[in-house]
Structure formats: structure tokens, C-alpha cells
Amino acid sequence: MPVQDTVEAELPDWSRELGLQVNQYNTLAAQLQSNVARVHDGDDSGLVLNPILRLCNHSCAPNAQLAWTAAPSAECPCGVGQFRLLALQDIGADEEIRYTYIGTPGIDAPLSADRRRALLQRRWGFWCGCSMCASE
């Protein structure tokens, strides 16, 4: 499970109002962290909870990305649109779908392999051994 290191003084007001202890808050935050994607669009940002993302493993060299697609109501119950996982290249039937947990390559500022690995270790509790990190 991802590592969360929130301390008592950093607990948000809503968690205090609900009576959550630090360890309970950290567990909840870790579970959400593992199953959401952060999205940014100019000044707007938010979190996307997409059931398919939880099935994807991380890679700093992804072959798929999360993208907003407008959709008619027949495809999307809200009639506005939805986030979908889109292939960035052809993905073979036996190939793993790789999604980056830490930003969009070519859009977000690039981080060194050491910084990516430190971020992944702190937030998700693993050391990245993807092809991109291995080659740097």
C-alpha cells in the first residue's frame, strides 16, 4: 500500500470533524492515492476516479494516457463526456498497458530518474524499474 506520512498537525478539518485518527486518515489517503489520477487543464485541476486505472501499472514511459473525451448521452450517462484511457501507440495483446502515475510526458516538466523514483517511493511505496528509469 502507498506510504502516507501526514501527521496530526496536518490533518484536514473534515477529517477531524469525522473523528479520524492519523493512521485512519493515512490509510484512506493511501487507498485513494492508489486509485485516482490527477488531471490539470490550465488553472483547473482535480482528481479522476476511473476503475480501469487501478488495473494499470506505472511506467515513466507510458503507452496509454487518461484523456477527456466529449461524448453523446448514448455513450456517457451525463451527456457531457468522460475520461478514457487512450493508447499512445499500438499495444499488443500480450503487452502490459502502462500508465504514468506522475504526470504527462511532453506536458509536465520532466523529472530526473532519481526524483521520479523518490516521488513514486514516497507516494506509492515502490521503486520504479521501468525502461526509462533503467536507461537514465
Query: How do residues 95-114 score in pLDDT, each as one tens digit?
Result: 999 988 887 655 567 788 99
Mean pLDDT, rounded, of the chain: 81
Q: Is the pLDDT of residue 91 over 80?
A: yes
What is the distance between the alpha carbons of residues 121 and 1, in angstroms, rounded to a whole number?
11
Q: Given this model, what pLDDT does residue 40 score?
A: 64
User: Given this model, what pLDDT does residue 1 score?
Assistant: 45
pTM, two decimals, is 0.66
Return the HEC string of 89-112: CCCCCCCCCEECCCCCCCCCCCCC
Q: Alpha-carbon distance 44 to 5, whole Å?
A: 26
What is the chain's alpha carbon radius of gyration, rounded to the nearest angstrom? 17
- Average pLDDT, stretch 59-83? 75
The backbone region for 4, taken as left when phi is positive above 0, alpha when psi lies in -120 to 50, beta otherwise, is beta
**Pick the residue with more confidence: 80 or 25?**
25
**Domains of the chain, first to last:** 8-135 (2.170.270)
Contact 86, 67 (CB under 8 A): yes
